[in-house]
Structure 1
Amino acid sequence: MHRIKRVFRNVHIVLWVLFGLLVALQLSQDRPSSEHWLTMTTGIMLTTLYVFYSHFILLKQFSGKKKRRPYFLRLGLIILTGNLPFLLFHHVKFDTFFLFFNYYIISLISMVPVFVFLSWLARVTENLVINTFKKEQLEKQAVEAELYYLKSQINPHFLFNTLNNIHTLVYKQALAAPEAVLQLASLMRYMIYESNSPLVPLSREMTYLQDYMSLQQLKYKNSPVVDLQVEGLTDSCHIAPLLFIHLLENAYKHSPARLEPGEVKVNMKITGDTLTFMVQNPVSTNPGRKVDEPGGIGLPNVRKRLALLYPGKHSLEANNSGGTFTVKLKIQGLKLMAHEKEADLLYHR
């Protein structure tokens, strides 16, 4: 806001300086008044500044108010007294009232209404820009608040279940217990601190997903139930944090209680500035469990965040067929790292 007001202030200064120079140049070349161009320029500048900013401030004082009578009374006073500085500095000696009245009417008609209108136009323009900026700021704050709310909707049951699983490992003095604690600490650190950034390296987001999968694996005794495939360089671009966790969480949540090794398939592919993320899992035969439960935070959450973060640059497809649920997310226009952009430009030369 202060930056916008500073810009308007600088614009006012520049325009008034240019106007003053133009008036001085014109009067210095006008033969009848060339000898008095300095005093005449002073009178014109004082008149125009007085009329312009008196009305400019008056409009601010009565902005949004329904009291029109005080406004018009003050405006009338500005109009009637606006050209007095010009007459005061005028080189003509007003020996008679008639001569003074003629100059008064001529200067009043030729100067005052113009700058009353210009001050109104300047105030309307400034209000329009400031109100537009305020609206954009409020919308931005609303978007940020909604994004914060959506990011915070990570299933708390995962944390409780993980702690219970780690407790069991510790009780059994299993060798995997210390590693599980480190993975949980890494996961929580990312969720609480690192995910506050608008963008994170995709490689860091993938580490978070791998920690999540490792902790989920504590529920299964057999080999890893998730088959993770990554194509492309994950450290070549940045992504909004916590975009994929709900899709992966849904895959665990809506799969059968017993999963065979590699039965949940996760594929990440990076091609240029386009990312494709796909999750495929078997659907539980339990009729009480649906892929999109009422009030669920999986796909609706992801759709809302994508609409806010990547409008017009993403697609999210979900398909439930043949006992398999597939979600495919595609994001275009990812922010590449600087060295990757340079390499891409060299490649296309």
Structure 2
Amino acid sequence: MSAQLHLKSVNKKYNPGTAHEVHAVQDLDLEVGRGEIVALLGSSGCGKTSTLRMIAGFEEVSSGEVDIDGRRIDRLAPAKRGVAMAFEGYSLYPPLSIRENIAFALKSEKLPQADVNTRVEQIAALLEIDDILDKHPNAISGGQQQRVSLGRALNRRADLHVLDEPMGQLEPQLRAILRGRIKHYIKEHELTAILVTHDQTEANALADRIAVMEGGVLQQFDTPENLKNRPSNIFTGAFIGEPPMNLFEAVAEVVSGHVQLRLSPEVTLTYPSSTFSEELQGRIQQDHGVMIGVRPHSVQLTKEGLLAEVFANQWLGDQTHIAARFAGGSIVSVVHDLALPKAGDQIRIAISADDLHIFDTRSGEALSHGGQLA
């Protein structure tokens, strides 16, 4: 069972009309397709949890509409919305065993007890909680309680499944294992799911599309690949990726068949004009001042290139993060080997035009990616 979710100009204001009013979600338009997994991603206070709670019915919508398959649900009680939710705070029934907690979601289906037992045991095995089914919530760990809450939500047949930080309490190794299992389960059962997370790895691993939010505003709603390779603005470019995108203010000029991006009096990036579209050349000359971005993985260490001075070197077991002073600021390069430059060493770096992201300094909007208009 799955459905389409549509949020239409949804707003959430806390303490409206007072000096302490907070506009937590602003004019949010979002469509989640049937059988799609969508992640709401952002830092604390960005509006993602408020959005999820409005969908589930635990927060009122200040204005706008929430529809499932064309049926308006934002005025309905939570139990009548057809939404199954796994809470970050678990919300288990203390008097019931773990088996009974998971089975509780199946009562409305009026299944034979043998079928209930089978479904409970299957979801418990998937989440690796099959050894605690006869225990009670107060006798298990926080991570186990979170998996019970998740199992109860996934086991329920609903139009929409909403998951609030579904694996936030789990140790990294278990999270890595369960991500793949949970995504396979959701896809196999053709569920529509929307989840909240602050973990980019989790969002990338689970979601078909990711909605990046900040300050209550949707910044970009796109595939994980496009968020990284074609960020729509400076915020998304800087927020997505680890380590974050390197950003520099630059003065742009087209001189003698070359595009010059002056980052500082000492540092200018120069490229043949042919590497940039004519439309982009006209735009950056018009704007003159731009912001350029380059992912750390695209900053190349070369024998001939621009000088930078190393001030930190971190070996993470499978890659090296080298931070260097460059163009009056700093730049980070990621090398997929053990690299040995130490603090104080001079290195040379190169940045390909294909790896450049150019943004409008005033609006923050992307102008180009890899030399082509955004």
Q: TM-score range by the shorter chain?
A: under 0.3
Query: Highest relative contact order (Cα 8 Å, sep 6+), 1 or 2?
Result: 2
Structure with higher helix content: 1
Structure with higher strand content: 2
TM-score (norm 1): 0.26
Whichever of the two has the greater Rg, that structure is 1
